[in-house]
Amino acid sequence: MKFRILLVILFVGIRLSVSAQNDTIIKLSEVKITTPANPVLFDRSGRFIQVIGQHEIKSAPVNNLEGILSQFNGFDVRSRGPFGVQSDLSIRGGSFDQNVILLNGIPLDDPQTGHNALDFSLAPDNIKKIEAILGPSSRWFGPNAFSGGINIITQPDSTNKLDLHITGGQYGLFSGLLSGNYHWGKIKNLTSVRYSRDDGYQRDTDFKTAGLFHQSVYHYKHTLMQLQLSFQDKAYGAYGYYTAQYPDQFEHTRNLFSSFDVSTGHKIKWEGSVSWHRMYDRFELFRQGKNWYEKQGNWYVMGQDSAGYHTPFGFFPYTGPNFHRTDVFYGRGQMHFSSVLGKSAVSVSFKKDHIISNVLGTVTTDTLYSSGGAFYDHSAERSEINLNANQLYSKGAFSASAGFNLFYNNQFGMLFSPGVDLSYSLNARYRLFASANRAIRLPTFTDLYYQGPDHISNPDLKAEQVTGFETGVKYFSRRVGATFSVFDRLGVNMIDWVKATPQDQWKSENITRLNTFGLALAVEYRAPTSQKFLQSLIFNYTYLTSNKSASGFISLYALDYLKHDVGIIMTNRLANHVTASWRVKVQDRNGGYFDYQTGRVLPYETAVLLNAKLSYRWGKSQLFIQGDNLLNKRVHDIGSVLLPGIWMTGGVSYQLGP
């Protein structure tokens, strides 16, 4: 029955395209994808690719990057708090450690943990486009593009202007964004500063975030230079985020990022980039401060309660926060050229990961101290070199892309990730595609070194490896684009926390095989400019099923992927200057979570989520009112962390400039 509904929706979308007026707009098939090593038109790509444009970003009834991603095919954004406070990004059932996020082509990964992958300063209003490649993608992005990768693209506007956005809402929510586009001669600049705060929708869910983002672009003839700078400071109550047994948690992160990129040349194009990324992370398992736990001697105490935890191995008193500081140094050189064999791209990159911590890594001879009481007496580092080579060949209706990533890491040795993507046009509207790609994922420093009262780390872990296969069909017309695919992902050496008997401690091991099969459908309709009511309609559906083999062991991580994920996004023009956008999302999550109050494993409930946004624009000003979770559903994305019910917000924006 579900598949019949999907086919009906697809058929209706196609009929809409046939009956549409011939207004002048850009065809959906002409979108150029810049993410791969060789840029390619969307309609000729042999992969399942999602492109989220500025129209979808600005009209979306959401207020952060995580919310934007969660609307589209294959993305499972598992939130622990609202407004992007902390979320894990999963692509097609992969884990939060198994994808790569890039900002204008520069990777933003944090080797400590994928929990921090989305922890950087970027307002949705500054994003021009998001390109996502679903499925194993190491031959383009290098290691960790296990289940896919996304490239977030920003670009200063061509005119000078200043934008101000103010938002307020329930629970003391306030958010402000000041964003400026300005020119210094031939240099175009974008600078934005933002601040947000909230008192919390329940105990220990308050947050404060401040951030700065700057981008400078210089373009002259065949030379392009780009500078990026970013800073974010975020502190938030993390009620039950990482364990529901000790819910009063707190986290404070600071994120600094800088990069410089230059490309030049005409027939042969050369590109070079360098970047530095630093993350500070302070995590309190028992929140400290007034009305929370305060240190008395060697103990942390709140009223009659002493901070600590009971395990089968005894009572362990809490000894204080975990402190981490990670640094990632990255450099890449790349060459593009064309020949009778098509478009060629070769790149070499170097990356060094370094961490100092009081829990992760090996013990150091000296203890380092920094502000805020942080101290570091553990450290670890690793270095890697990547060689990527990719070839794109197109002739007539046929297009092929093939290449490899040859990867060497001083800790994990040499690994090889080849792949090939093929596509063939049946006619002007239908194109078949198929791909086979291999990818790897390196263990994080948490996988390798985390120790706890009930956990034993394993510094000898191997890299995870996966081979992915996919085939499907794409449909194009002036108004409608649709993609349907079937995919299978076969993973080996998967990392899991396991134990042989209930009395043992958890230990991270490479003993799990994980195979994931799925179906994906994406349909997009864009209305002609003459159409008054319906402006756009997007439908996404993903089905997943996975099986995991960890014979003879008890596994910690449940298979809690989204089995059925349905998303419908619609934009309407209600009257002159008045628009409405709607998002309906249905999440049927496999697996369950342990509820400490009842002592039982509870299944995740199917969630039907409705968001809506109503906007009124006059001149250079705009008013909006937005409602999140309007059906007031109880939602658990992760564990027993209950997300807020109905949350109403509203705001105003004003543009100074043309």
In a domain, 294, yes or no: no
pLDDT surpassing 50 at residue 20: no
Amino acid identity at 185: G
pLDDT surpassing 60 at residue 13: no
Residue 255 CA to residue 101 CA, distance in Å, equals 15
State which of 72-76, 154-158, 377-381 shows the largest mean pLDDT: 377-381
| Domain region containing 64 | 2-285+321-656
Interval 86-104: pLDDT, tens = 999 999 999 899 999 999 9
Residue 165 has a pLDDT of 96
pLDDT surpassing 70 at residue 550: no
Interval 253-301: pLDDT, tens = 999 999 999 999 988 999 999 999 999 999 999 999 999 999 998 899 9
End-to-end CA distance of the chain: 51
Region 241-250: what's the mean pLDDT? 89
401-427 in b/e form (b: 16+ CB < 10 A) is: bbbbbbbebebbeebebbbbbbbbbee
In a domain, 315, yes or no: no
Interval 354-410: pLDDT, tens = 999 999 999 999 999 988 889 999 999 999 999 999 999 999 999 999 999 999 999
319-354 in b/e form (b: 16+ CB < 10 A) is: ebbbbbbbbbebebebebeeeeeebbbbbebebebb
Q: How confident is the model at residue 6 (pLDDT cuts 50, 70, 90)?
A: very low
Residue written as tokens 């997943």? 544
Count the domains in the chain: 1
pLDDT surpassing 90 at residue 205: yes
Number of C-beta neighbours around residue 255 at 10 A:
21
Range name among 14-28, 190-204, 338-352, 520-534 with the lowest pLDDT average:
14-28
pLDDT surpassing 50 at residue 573: yes
C-alpha distances in Å from residue 398, one per residue of 32, 342, 604: 17, 12, 45
Q: For residue 582, what are the contacts with CB-CB under 8 A and spacing of at least 6? A: 61, 568, 569, 570, 571, 572, 610, 611, 612, 613
Closest CA to 48 of 33, 58, 38: 33
Q: For residue 383, what are the contacts with CB-CB under 8 A and spacing of at least 6? A: 350, 351, 352, 353, 409, 410
Number of C-beta neighbours around residue 19 at 10 A:
7
Strands (E), 71-120: 75-79, 87-91, 100-103, 106-107
In a domain, 567, yes or no: yes
In a domain, 483, yes or no: yes
pLDDT surpassing 70 at residue 513: yes
In a domain, 309, yes or no: no
Residue 34 has a pLDDT of 75
pLDDT surpassing 70 at residue 5: no
Q: How confident is the model at residue 15 (pLDDT cuts 50, 70, 90)?
A: very low
Residue written as tokens 């979108």? 31
Mean pLDDT score of the chain: 89
pLDDT surpassing 70 at residue 14: no
Residue 402 CA to residue 329 CA, distance in Å, equals 28
Interval 424-438: pLDDT, tens = 999 989 999 999 999
Residue 461 has a pLDDT of 94
In a domain, 350, yes or no: yes
Domain containing residue 414: CATH number? 2.40.170.20
Region 490-510: what's the mean pLDDT? 83
In a domain, 310, yes or no: no
pLDDT surpassing 60 at residue 67: yes
In a domain, 311, yes or no: no
Residue 53 CA to residue 61 CA, distance in Å, equals 15
pTM of the model: 0.91
